[in-house]
Structure 1
Amino acid sequence: MQENRAKCMKLAERIYELDGEVYQCLGSSLGRVFTGSRDECVESLAELMCGSRKSYLLRSEMALVANMARTIPDEETRARLMAEYNNILVEIKSIPTSFGTVDILDESRAKLNAIHLHERFTDKDHLIVCISRTLGCAGTDIGFALANALKINFYDQKIFNTVLEHLDADKNSIEDISSANEVPNKVRKPQKGQTLDNFHRYHGLPENDAVFFNLSGLLCEMAAKEDFVVMGRCADVILTGGRIPHVSVFITAPFEQRVRRVMKTHSLDRKHASNLLKQLDHKRSKYYHFFTGRKWGDPENYDLCINSASYGIQGSVEMISRMIDQNGLYRR
């Protein structure tokens, strides 16, 4: 245990140094990812690696560092820092308590699959992969690993929060659907205690509705500039509405398999893990239908549906990558 802690501390120091060097090289408008004192940041990072139930936050923070590092103009510097990033990732994944270490693979299912995608991209289009997923299927781990395999950016809810904060958005404006209490209401007038400024700011819309439309605009702007993997956020329907080519993937796994994984990743007993799956899957479905009119998880709405228990994390990444390569969608 002590040896594991020491390893986490050393890795945390390397992550902090990498973030600082990326910022020095780039002077990014996003600023540093880790903004506290060195000791505080290193301690916090080590805690995320050493058994925290919030270790998934480290994945988002690492992805944000990588997203910025990929924009460094000097090729030699960019290659050096990305090599360090990849080395750190390998070491993080070797720690039993870190993200990505609880796979979803069911050996008995991993034998029978085929894929196909109709060509729809031109040479001017960027590669965008939209991933929707049920809780506990390792979908976010798959999306993160896919972005690294393709050497493109990765965006999840936490990263969008950071981006919108730096674009002068309300820093609490995006709520992960997993923590939302209800689907947003229809357009309404300002309530008692609500300022007129906020009403004007959101053009009379409830805040969550306005944030969805702001995020829609941001996604379309990003799609014109870069390749990326995006988790959730109804991105597939947003890009379809903007007539922007993309690959849409839905990832799930058998309920019992997901329950077992959530028990491990969230340190829950079977009853609480089962209830959490049902509640959050229902909220995601309701949110998706509210903003898109589509049925969440319906195979007709996606290019590819994956049972991650049949492939595991790495196998799912290889499957999606192979589909992309075979259709000529990714140009290194």
Structure 2
Amino acid sequence: MKTIITIGRQFGSAGREIGYKVAEDLGIKLYDKEMLDRAAKESGIAEELFETHDEKPTSSFLYSLVMDTYSLGYSTAYSDMPINYKIFLAQFDAIKKMAAEEPCILVGRCADYALADNENLLSVYIHASIEARTKRIARIYNLTEGKAKEMIHKTDKKRASYYNYYTNKKWGAAESYHACLNSSALGINGTVDAIKYLIDAKENCKDKSL
């Protein structure tokens, strides 16, 4: 297996749980907040700062800044950049290194964008009905359905803003990913099976130009 799977997910869609089940079935690693840990260790930036800035948006011109700086290397403008830019670049670099080491699953944090030029990438977006997500979040966090729905809207808004600012794509739009799966329609196990099917289809595809 060569495929690197990235998972974007609506809050409450069970995206992380699905990712862990796929990783367990395939015997590969899943990276979620572990991406922050590695980026912190390799960059020398305090881990607490990565937690503070995790999936939080900054400015829309970062796309070109990241590309220019990354292509030149950290030795140029990197040391003079604002801390949120440093954190994104360090995370960007950590994601690329993880994907280069072995097949794995990467959850959130614009991993699909960081690996856009990786021919082994399979980017998946997991969504679900607001009713299913509300019930799940209310149960997990012991909230009323009203509070759960409020938490969902706030978290999704943050994730969308982060993704849209740091990439040249739109969070949740079908064209931004290789596949979009509805976990409330397929169920958790059904979504796991669908992802494994997509991995097999990708690895068996003979014509990459299609």
Contact 1:260–1:270 (8 Å) recurs in 2 = yes
1:300 is matched with which residue?
Answer: 175
One-letter amino acid of the counterpart of residue 5, structure 2:
V
**Pair 1:184 & 2:58 matched:** yes
Partner secondary structure for residue 184 of structure 1: coil
Considering fraction of residues, name the structure with more strand: 2
1:210-289 to 2 correspondences below 5 Å: 210-240=86-116, 242-289=117-164
User: How far apart in 1 are the matches of 2:13 and 2:52?
Assistant: 17
One-letter amino acid of the counterpart of residue 261, structure 1:
R
One-letter amino acid of the counterpart of residue 48, structure 2:
N
User: How far apart in 1 are the matches of 2:38 and 2:97?
Assistant: 13
Residue 243 (structure 1) shift: 4.2
- Which ranges in structure 1 are unaligned for 5 or more consecutive residues? 1-124, 188-199
Residue 163 (structure 1) shift: 2.2
Give the TM-score normalised by structure 2. Answer: 0.81
User: How far apart in 2 are the matches of 1:229 and 1:204?
Assistant: 32
2:197 is matched with which residue?
Answer: 322
1:47 is matched with which residue?
Answer: none
2:38 is matched with which residue?
Answer: 163
**Pair 1:146 & 2:22 matched:** yes
Partner secondary structure for residue 224 of structure 1: helix
Contact 2:35–2:94 (8 Å) recurs in 1 = no
One-letter amino acid of the counterpart of residue 205, structure 1:
M
Max Rg structure: 1
Residue 176 (structure 1) shift: 6.9
User: How far apart in 2 are the matches of 1:212 and 1:149?
Assistant: 31
- Which ranges in structure 2 are unaligned for 5 or more consecutive residues? 63-75, 205-210
Contact 1:126–1:225 (8 Å) recurs in 2 = no
User: How far apart in 2 are the matches of 1:245 and 1:309?
Assistant: 28
User: How far apart in 1 are the matches of 2:119 and 2:128?
Assistant: 29
Partner secondary structure for residue 203 of structure 2: coil
Of all paired residues, the percent bearing the same amino acid is 31
2:165 is matched with which residue?
Answer: 290
> How many residues are aligned here?
189
Distance 1:265 1:171, change over 3 A: same
Distance 1:230 1:322, change over 3 A: same
One-letter amino acid of the counterpart of residue 274, structure 1:
K
1:6-63 deviation line (CA, Å, top 9, x unaligned): xxxxxxxxxxxxxxxxxxxxxxxxxxxxxxxxxxxxxxxxxxxxxxxxxxxxxxxxxx
Considering fraction of residues, name the structure with more helix: 2
Instruction: Provide the aligned C-alpha RMSD in A.
Output: 2.3
Partner secondary structure for residue 50 of structure 2: coil
**Pair 1:137 & 2:21 matched:** no
Residue 244 (structure 1) shift: 4.5
User: How far apart in 2 are the matches of 1:259 and 1:207?
Assistant: 35
Residue 169 (structure 1) shift: 3.4
Give the TM-score normalised by structure 1. Answer: 0.53
Partner secondary structure for residue 175 of structure 1: helix
More relative contact order, 1 or 2 (CA 8 Å, 6+ apart): 2
1:40-55 to 2 correspondences below 5 Å: none
Contact 1:164–1:170 (8 Å) recurs in 2 = no
